[in-house]
Homo-oligomer: A and B are copies of this chain.
Amino acid sequence: MGRSYAIVGTGAIGGFYGAWLQKIGLEVHFLLQRDYEHVRHHGLAISSISGDFTLPHVNAYNDVKNMPRCDVVLVALKTTQNHLLPHLLPPLVKEGGVVLMMQNGLGVEPEVAAIVGEAVEVLGGICFICSNKTSPGQIQHVDYGEVQLAAYGQDRQSVGITATMRQIGADFEQAGVPIQLLEDLWLCRWKKLVWNIPFNGLSVVLDATTDAIINDVYGRTMAEQLMREVVAGAAGYDLKIEESFIQKMLEHTVKMKPYRTSMKIDYDFHRPLEVEAIVGNPMRAAQKVGVPVPQIAMLYQQLKFLDTRYLDS
């Protein structure tokens, strides 16, 4: 029998990958909040560049207490909801099981490791995907889709490629998801931040899509400078990111379809911003080892200023 999966956060990421895993015959249990009633009755519908499909019946829950413990707990909540994890994870994880953190930013794995203890393996899943939840239970997959998997080791130690990673990787591959197994979780996370910090942050502060930023001489300069600070922060932990990677990310952004970042979408919908995971944690990590990141710090403060604007009202 295959592995069972619990999907914590059935949105653009969790709903998408969870649906694919169910489609290949695995047992999947979906935790929902607002969309619970709809998905319980109508299931999930995926509209994807890899093909459309519907799952009329899914195991839907609105309370972890009713869910079975699963081999893999896939967390795809926004990081702004991570204060719920101490309540959500303990009833779901198994001894010898896995928590797979499919979230943005830095620092989510150690947080979770502290909650679930040493008997549970913690993996990071870094998603390169453009997908949106268009209405309850409806997920639209617009572009990309690759997942990078890497294992969390205490004290930031690399634990290499684990057997669990290979098994989960095989499930994803069977489901048609391009997957990479990588040895260094921290390097993966920092490399993702090279793009995420400038473009998520500036898109909110400047009210701009990626193409508007990259095609403006000042926008591109800002992005490049912020990228250099991210690379310097990573170097403070002996994680080497080549200069060519910055140029690759800039050129990649030039070629991308005009894109509204996830943080900008959150901002436009007056939802809390993932500013701590994506910007605050890397900023503090860099400062902790004495790497100055003044422009990331200003971007952080600007986002914090804007983050409370709509929540107050």
Contacts and interface: CB of A to CB of B under 8 A. Distances in A.
Interface string A201-221: 000011010000100101101
Interface stretch (A121-129, A170-178, A302-310): A302-310
Interface in A272-313: 294-295, 297-299, 301-302, 304-306, 308
B219 A305 contact: yes
Per DSSP, are chain A's interface residues mostly helix, strand or loop, or mixed? helix
A219 B306 CA distance: 10
B304 A218 contact: yes
A216 B301 CA distance: 10
A218 B295 CA distance: 14
A222 B216 CA distance: 25
Contact of A301 (B218, B297, B306): B218
A148 interface: no
Contact of A295 (B221, B294, B306, B308): B294
A299 B295 CA distance: 9
A217 to B, nearest CB: 8
Interface in A51-98: none
A123 B208 CA distance: 41
A301 B294 CA distance: 14
Contacts of A305: 206, 208, 213, 216, 218-219, 222
Contact of A221 (B208, B216, B301): B301
Contacts of A295: 294-295, 297-298
Interface residues of A, number: 21
A164 interface: no
A213 B308 CA distance: 12
A305 B208 CA distance: 10
A132 interface: no
Contacts of A222: 298, 301-302, 305
A225 interface: yes
Nearest to A300: B218
A216 B218 CA distance: 27
Contacts of A297: 225, 295
A302 B222 CA distance: 8
Nearest to A225: B298
Interface in A214-238: 216, 218-219, 221-222, 225
Contact of A205 (B205, B213, B294, B308): B205
A258 to B, nearest CB: 16
A313 to B, nearest CB: 12
13 contacts: A205-B302, A206-B305, A213-B305, A216-B308, A218-B301, A218-B305, A219-B305, A222-B298, A222-B305, A225-B294, A225-B297, A294-B294, A295-B297
The 3 closest A-B pairs by CB, nearest first: A218-B301, A294-B294, A218-B304
